[in-house]
Structure 1
Amino acid sequence: MGPPDPSVPQDTPDALPSLKKTEITQSVPNRSSNKKRDVRAREQLVEVVMEELGVPALFCAKSAVLACYANARTSGLVVEMGATYTSVTSVHEGYAFAYPKSQVTLFGGRDLDAFLKQKLAPQMATSFEQRAAATSMDKEMAKRTRHTWSYVVEAKESGLCRVADGPFDEVQNAQLPLINYELPDKTVVSMGTERFSVAEHYFSRDSGPNAVVNSGTADTEAKSSSITAGPGMRLPELICETGGLTTATELRKELFQNIVLTGGSSCFENMATRIEREVVTTLSNISLPLVGSSTNSVSSAGFTNSLRVKVVAAHAQERRVGAFLGGSILASLGSFHEMWMSKAEYAEHGAALIHKKCP
């Protein structure tokens, strides 16, 4: 028998999860969801990690909280713009609030990918027809289509797609100059309004990019169910609504001064600037309740208009892995060893202890 293949992971002590303390990130459950189901799902996760993987200690952290830590903050309105969902969560002193709407879900980055794919499909199809014979290249065509689809996603993330400075209308900007972009497989696509229309879904009241895709193709009816069913709220409005649920004036000021962007879809060029501008505009047109009563909305108009808004956006590479960076920072703290849920504690108290150790 020859030496082991170095490309295949070996069962060395460094590779065995049973010898490693494990930190897991979780999204903040929406209070309007099934609470019992969420609680049970979390406990089942603990059971699997402790019993089947045999880790010596476990800690579960909220991704929104970790995103704050990654940006050197303990409080803020965290806007997570990921692949499968977009959410807004209030975080104060390392604790993620679970208001009825403290986490509101929109579409995700994959829905934007599908939208861009549909917009560029005619150009891609033409390119394939020119380069392959229909009779003998069916399998190769399918393979090439799949790879070119991943290249389209790369084009979206390369900086070619960006956020417009203000509201963007495709019809009014139909004469926008085309920019050619060569994908790694040598397919050349021309992008005009598509450069701005992809990210504009975050700022429009439509049903999201998935609605546009579903209206044009029958095979995408089963796409992500995270899209709002009808005309929804714009992302800046969701940010204002989530921050507005906090009626304590000083806390609200702190939240709006620390709007933290994280996730791959937040990396569109000009995203932070546009969100900050739109949130300021939205706040100037609404009134948020003050402490003690939701009926004080009219009298709070002056306070709302005086709110200082600041969007915190790290470098794009850091925003992509914000939760991971925050988890690394948390785990490196000297006092973190007291926060672990050990295997002995699990054996004594069961999986339900995770709710107390990791609220």
Structure 2
Amino acid sequence: MGTYGGDEVAALVLSVGHTWTQAGYAGEDTPKSIFPTSVGWVDLPAEADQGDDADNSEDTQMQDVTQDGASASDSNHIGKKDADGGDVAPQPVGAGVVPSKKKITKRGKYYVGDGEISCWRPDMEIKSPMKDGLVEDWDALEQIWDHAFLKRLRCDPTEHPLIITESAWNTREIREKLTELAFEKYNFPAFFVAKDAVMTAFAAGRPHALVVDSGGDMTSVVPVYDGYVLRKGIMRQSLGGDVLSDQVLQQFKANDVEVTPQYLIAKKSPVIVGQKPNVVLRDRPATPSFHKMMQMRVLHDFKESVCQVAESTYNEQNINTRPQKPYELPDGYNFNFGAERFKVPEIMFNPKEFLKNPTPEQENFVGLPKLIFNSAQSCDIDFRPTLFGNVVLTGGNTLFPGFADRLHWELNSIPHSYKVKLHAPGNTVERKCGSWLGGSIMASLGTFHQLWISRKEYDETGSSIVNKKCV
């Protein structure tokens, strides 16, 4: 329980990442709900209507069509559901709409949550509202918030303060828009935006830290000193779990192995190791984005089950002496994986050698130890010993067996005079949900009540107050 306005209240804590969204109550040690950030969207046929006589059903999104094709948007449509259980696209308020003008009615449904987006639908597109740690699709983000508050936590937003986490490089415009969303649409009584790196350091019990966060779409290194982000030391690159999964997919294709997701499999029979699968497939046409998502789930499970990081510099001769691990794909194909299972996570440490068919952007990737070293070296020389002594690991991509030991070995191999200490929580949930856990701890402190942005302050100052109170 946190303190707000002198009363004990349960503040809500929300962390929206590229791959997973975590939601729960302050003061608890794990999120109440963790679900995919990606949402499904199904377009329905557009219809023409005449102004106010239009059929304005719950699964309809009205868009005013102008000469340049621009359309209005809206955020005042909480919790509406269609007959099939899908979340409804937001409806514009109609500012500047001439009732007698013909409009185009764009119909569509949102699907949010693991069960909804995993269910095969022929025309469902999958998209994430986040890219490079920043909000890219606001309509999809609202659906995530609706799902978290109304379906998962089943709470009334007007009765709880809200704290959310953000990337250390978030923009002023996005922060202000998040503040508007919290107060204007959901009517939260109080709101706060916290840097995810600061919250991760807070969860680890450290006021100073070099926070290494490796997730689905990117890896970042953020120096934190005295609870503040040192912006000049922020280093990031788009090398994360998605790139590793794509490399596994390329590896399978090079060996003439097709990764068939579960939704396509009707029946399969056992086969011996290395043989082609004996499988009967369903006729289920799907969008490329849905098929890719389901393939990535198989590859994610492969990485978790099989892959491992070598404890020291990769040596093919030594790796070949390690025991192999068996793995079976959903279609029944199975194989014993040896050196291959070490090469995939090795990309994090030596991308130039192990990244196959890199894009122009990927050719500039550097190994994680070098990224960490560059981040620390970009900070004031007086801060460096403290930062090297408090390297904190977070993110699901750091959970490969041997990852922390290898990183510690590599950092000590780089010529410098600093003592390196790594903090890597052994608990899987704590490692994946570091920023959420820090927000939960901070919002539950009695001294935190003075930091909330209240509704009164928002009404008096506007959304710009977030840049003054949440630094």
Compute the TM-score of the two structures, normalised by the length of structure 2. Answer: 0.59
Quick check: 1:88–1:105 contact (8 Å CA) kept in 2?
Answer: no
Provide the residue aligned with 2:199 in structure 1: 66
Distance in structure 2 (CA, Å) of the matches to 1:146 and 1:95: 36
Q: Residue 341 of structure 1 aligns to which amino acid in structure 2?
A: I
Q: What are the residue-to-residue correspondences of 1:1-359 with 2, within 5 Å?
A: 15-29=155-169, 38-99=171-232, 101-121=233-253, 122=255, 124-125=257-258, 130-133=277-280, 137-139=282-284, 147=294, 149-158=296-305, 160-168=306-314, 178-183=324-329, 186-206=332-352, 209=355, 212=356, 228-249=361-382, 251-282=383-414, 284=415, 304-305=416-417, 307-315=418-426, 316-359=428-471
| Higher helix residue share | 1
How far apart are 1:198 and its partner, in Å? 1.3
Mean CA deviation greater in 20-29 or 174-183: 174-183
Provide the residue aligned with 1:301 in structure 2: none
Mean CA deviation greater in 119-128 or 81-90: 119-128
How far apart are 1:92 and its partner, in Å? 0.8
Change (3 A) 1:268 1:12: closer
Question: 1:73-107 deviations in whole A, cap 9, x for unaligned?
Answer: 111100001111100000011111111x4232241
Query: Structure 2 regions of 5+ residues with no counterpart?
Result: 1-84, 86-114, 116-146, 261-267, 269-275
Quick check: 1:124–1:189 contact (8 Å CA) kept in 2?
Answer: no
The secondary structure found in structure 1 opposite 2:298 is helix
Distance in structure 2 (CA, Å) of the matches to 1:138 and 1:171: 45
How far apart are 1:149 and its partner, in Å? 4.6
Quick check: 2:199–2:434 contact (8 Å CA) kept in 1?
Answer: yes
Q: Residue 24 of structure 1 aligns to which amino acid in structure 2?
A: I
The secondary structure found in structure 2 opposite 1:55 is coil
Distance in structure 2 (CA, Å) of the matches to 1:193 and 1:11: 44
Question: 1:149-184 deviations in whole A, cap 9, x for unaligned?
Answer: 5233112123x2111122226699578664212356
Q: Residue 420 of structure 2 aligns to which amino acid in structure 1?
A: V
Q: Residue 198 of structure 1 aligns to which amino acid in structure 2?
A: V
How far apart are 1:246 and its partner, in Å? 2.1
Compute the TM-score of the two structures, normalised by the length of structure 1. Answer: 0.75
Q: Residue 300 of structure 2 aligns to which amino acid in structure 1?
A: V
The secondary structure found in structure 2 opposite 1:202 is coil
Question: 1:101-134 deviations in whole A, cap 9, x for unaligned?
Answer: 423224111111111122234464298863335x
Quick check: 1:90–1:102 contact (8 Å CA) kept in 2?
Answer: yes
How far apart are 1:343 and its partner, in Å? 1.0
Distance in structure 2 (CA, Å) of the matches to 1:240 and 1:275: 11
Change (3 A) 1:337 1:189: farther
Change (3 A) 1:190 1:10: same
The secondary structure found in structure 2 opposite 1:112 is helix
Change (3 A) 1:273 1:244: same
Quick check: 1:148–1:183 contact (8 Å CA) kept in 2?
Answer: no
Quick check: 2:309–2:401 contact (8 Å CA) kept in 1?
Answer: yes
Change (3 A) 1:147 1:43: closer
Distance in structure 2 (CA, Å) of the matches to 1:15 and 1:53: 11
Change (3 A) 1:10 1:203: closer
| Higher strand residue share | 2
Distance in structure 1 (CA, Å) of the matches to 2:150 and 2:422: 44
Quick check: 1:123–1:189 contact (8 Å CA) kept in 2?
Answer: no
How far apart are 1:278 and its partner, in Å? 0.8
Distance in structure 2 (CA, Å) of the matches to 1:86 and 1:338: 33
The secondary structure found in structure 2 opposite 1:239 is helix
How far apart are 1:275 and its partner, in Å? 0.9
Change (3 A) 1:228 1:10: closer
Question: 1:33-71 deviations in whole A, cap 9, x for unaligned?
Answer: xxxxx2112111111121111111111001101111111
How far apart are 1:269 and its partner, in Å? 0.9
The secondary structure found in structure 1 opposite 2:371 is helix
Q: Residue 191 of structure 1 aligns to which amino acid in structure 2?
A: F
Q: Output the aligned Cα RMSD.
A: 3.3
Query: Structure 1 regions of 5+ residues with no counterpart?
Result: 31-37, 216-220, 222-226, 285-303
How far apart are 1:140 and its partner, in Å? 8.4
Distance in structure 2 (CA, Å) of the matches to 1:13 and 1:194: 42
The secondary structure found in structure 2 opposite 1:203 is coil
Distance in structure 2 (CA, Å) of the matches to 1:325 and 1:28: 17
Quick check: 2:164–2:193 contact (8 Å CA) kept in 1?
Answer: yes
